[in-house]
Chain A
Amino acid sequence: MSDSDNKSMSQGSAGEARNKAMPDLKTLAIEAQSMKAGDRRGFLKGLLAMTGAAATGQVAAAASQANLPPQIPSWTKSLGRGVVSKPYGTPSVYEKDVIRRTVPWLTAESISSISMSPLHELKGLITPNGLVFERYHAGVPEIDPEQHRLIIHGLVERPLIFTMEELQRFPSVSEIKFIECPANGGMEWKGPQMEGLQFTHGMLSCCEWTGVRLSTLLAEVGVKPEGKWVLAEGADGAAMARSIPIEKALDDTLVVYAQNGEALRPEQGYPVRLLNPGWEGNTSVKWLRRLEIGDQPWHMREETSKYTDLMADGRARKFTFVQECNSVITSPCPEKPWQNAGWYEVEGLAWSGRGTIKAVDISFDGGVNWVNAPLKGMVTSKSLSRFGYRFKWQGGPLLLQSRAVDETGYVQPTLRQLREQRGVNSIYHKNAIHTWRVEADGSVRNVQIP
């Protein structure tokens, strides 16, 4: 949003307020609190002008100058809430815009739909539990963990049934892994149509997951030599099911019951889900109730009708499990424009389902020239990695891009390369280099360079 937008918006609000016969100051103050900071300032300025110096302490406290030096802020001159006034803490009221969002027209109904994480507001690598993107095929079941069971059967020596208590007795591991819907970015195969980062890349989150290795559980049941595939099935109303090759199951697949230090959220599969690091999120079956070992895949609906990638010639790829190397600049972005010329850090996220991010390059000129953007903080396999590049913006237009390279040497492709290979109807696995157009006024728009 530009400054002029702010101004016109706040003037409008103040104008409306004037029309009210005798505005209740308390109500107005509450209204003001629900506004964005910029709007609130203008709104309260207008209000103060209107009411003169007669403003109550409450309004004055919220006004732009009253809490700034040399004044002593109202919160310094009063007492706050006591302990356990919120037994489970929530973010500041000023963070109310940091929420998951959906695009309503994507699906017929919210029960079988998807929401996106607000990547533009997130710091570091970890997605807070309440902001992890959602994907349901039949809504979120509310499962009583005491009445939940996981059965493992099929081509095994000892079919077993586990309670949640029993699953948590196995040796646990905690690993930081991203999870991404393969349809992330899928609305833009044919052209750009999403006006924000949250919608172009937000089907992506990263948590510390805790659980037991699937290989541990498979050892417990004893997989017969002819067992080559594992069917994972959820306890939701879609009984969501996917076929997983035994090689993956024995490699790094986890059966997790916790995320970021607490029990899984219902949205994320409470009380237990599968986690296939680096693979399309749909394979990480939530509300996991059953694992069956078989000698061939099942060709479930979610691996035939859906989650298959239609090519230009009408044939389709199946079992496209890996989320290939990808990256995006998160600051600036349409939701986080720049203001004045000067120093900024161009920041972003990179990830690869094949392992560790080795390098990220960024371009300011639409891919003509590239510079290396150093990785920041922890860099680990199949997790998000963060990069940052210090940049003195002169106030001119830019075509900003990022391009990640992973440990296999795979370089994130251009949109043109992907389209030449796959056409524009594959829906899934669009990991192309993304372009933000930065305007001279600092605003940022989603564009494509075909």
Chain B
Amino acid sequence: MFRFLDSVAVTRVVGAMTLAAVMALAGCSDKTASVETTPSTAQPAKNSVNNVEHALFGIGEAATPAQIAGWDIDVRPDGLGLPEGEGSVEDGEMLYEDKCASCHGTFGEGEGRWPKLAGGVGTLSQERPDKTVGSYWPYASTLWDYIRRAMPFPAPQSLPVDEVYAITAYVLNLNDLVDDDFVLSRDNFSAIEMPNKDGFFVDDRPDVKNPRCLSDCIDPATIKIVETIAGITPTAHIKEGGTDARAYSEEGDGHESGEDSVGKNIHDSACKVCHGSGVAGAPVTGNSDDWQERIKQDKTLIYQHAIEGFQGDSGVMPAKGGQAQLDDVAVKAAVDYMLETSR
């Protein structure tokens, strides 16, 4: 059907109208649409991209400003893309404690293997460099952009603009880049200068030249051999007594498609981020020691804690794990799964 509309201009004019409407406008139906073998025979508009001529196919609809605005979330170092708004270090501290500290640590030190956000200045040329926002990141815009697009990890693109400003301000403050009473806004954003902004250079590889020597290339007497550290690779599939049989201990044998329960699916996408590793005191799914006292409680109470949030002795359970979009039934299914697998 309807391969190449012979009047490209028509599609552009009608923009967001449906294909059917366009076809009606062009006076043709599915069955009678004229079929061109190539777009050029229809003499479409020509377009020049870096001096290469391309024919237009007239496929796709005009993207409306509203459609673009909803998805156009990027922010550049020059501030292009920053929306109107502001947030204080003070507000940021509260938000950070609530939404970020469980993974990134109270002072940005990073829990477990979660990213460290602060410190590390002066370590980049040392044996163990600490690449944090303060020690490594060249632009503050990247911080603002990433918090908006991907944080908090379990609930991306959930933060209002002012909260993004506030958390950005607080992370800058954790790195001693702004004062405690600082309020970050679009207007003062460009004044933020990151310590390592001149620490990058554009790829200049190839940087080594190895001659293609074929014989007597090195003195055999100089060959030293460094052996592999044993025991840190998952080798259960190749070695008796191999460590970490993750590939095997997981459900099925890797070929089974496996019908996962709703509860497991919700758990894996929403809860596992904390309950998989036990970050922030979360009881680890499958660890009966962590769960035995909790399981004794009334299930209704456990549901309630999961749905409404809970301050426990070992840590905070945010309401629905911070995933407000989940309905209660889904949260309960995940709780059931966690209880079943943790007995």
Contact = CB atoms under 8 A, between A and B. Distances in A.
Interface of A: 1, 5, 8-9, 34, 90-91, 93, 95-97, 99-105, 107-112, 137-139, 151-153, 157-162, 166, 169-170, 191-196, 199, 215-216, 218-220, 222-223, 231, 233, 237-239, 241, 246, 250, 289-290, 292, 294, 296, 298-301, 304-305, 308, 310, 312-322, 324, 334-335, 361, 365-371, 399, 403, 405, 410-414, 417-418, 420-422, 425, 429, 437, 445-450
Contact of A166 (B60, B63, B145, B273): B60
B239 interface: yes
B137 interface: yes
A162 B59 CA distance: 8
A79 to B, nearest CB: 23
B68 A158 contact: no
Contacts of A429: 205
Interface residues of B, number: 98
Best-surrounded residue of A107, A219, A292, A448 (most CB of chain B within 10 A): A219
Interface in B197-251: 199-220, 223-230, 232-235, 237-240, 244, 246-247
B299 interface: no
B225 A447 contact: yes
Contacts of B239: 1, 5, 195
Interface string B42-58: 00000101101011110
Interface in B228-282: 228-230, 232-235, 237-240, 244, 246-247, 253-255, 257, 269, 272-273, 276-277, 279
Best-surrounded residue of A194, A195, A313 (most CB of chain B within 10 A): A195
The 3 nearest A-B residue pairs measured at CB: A219-B54, A314-B125, A314-B124
B228 A192 contact: yes
A2 B77 CA distance: 57
B68 to A, nearest CB: 5
Contacts of A111: 153, 269, 272-273
A301 B142 contact: yes
B208 A138 contact: no
Interface of B: 3, 12, 47, 49-50, 52, 54-57, 59-63, 67-68, 71-78, 103, 112-114, 124-125, 129, 131, 133, 136-139, 141-142, 145-146, 149-150, 153, 156-157, 199-220, 223-230, 232-235, 237-240, 244, 246-247, 253-255, 257, 269, 272-273, 276-277, 279
Contacts of B76: 294, 296, 298-299
A220 B59 contact: yes
Nearest to A306: B131
A371 B212 CA distance: 11
A201 to B, nearest CB: 13
Given A90-B255, A107-B113, A292 B50 contact: no
B233 A196 contact: yes
Given A160-B62, A310-B131, A447 B216 contact: no
A366 B230 CA distance: 22
A93 to B, nearest CB: 8
Contacts of A109: 272-273, 276-277
Contacts of A318: 200-203
Best-surrounded residue of B3, B59, B247 (most CB of chain A within 10 A): B59
B152 to A, nearest CB: 11
Contacts of A97: 237
A222 B47 contact: yes
A138 B63 contact: no
B223 A103 contact: no
A159 B16 CA distance: 12
Nearest to A137: B150
A422 B207 contact: yes
B240 A317 contact: no
A239 B157 contact: yes
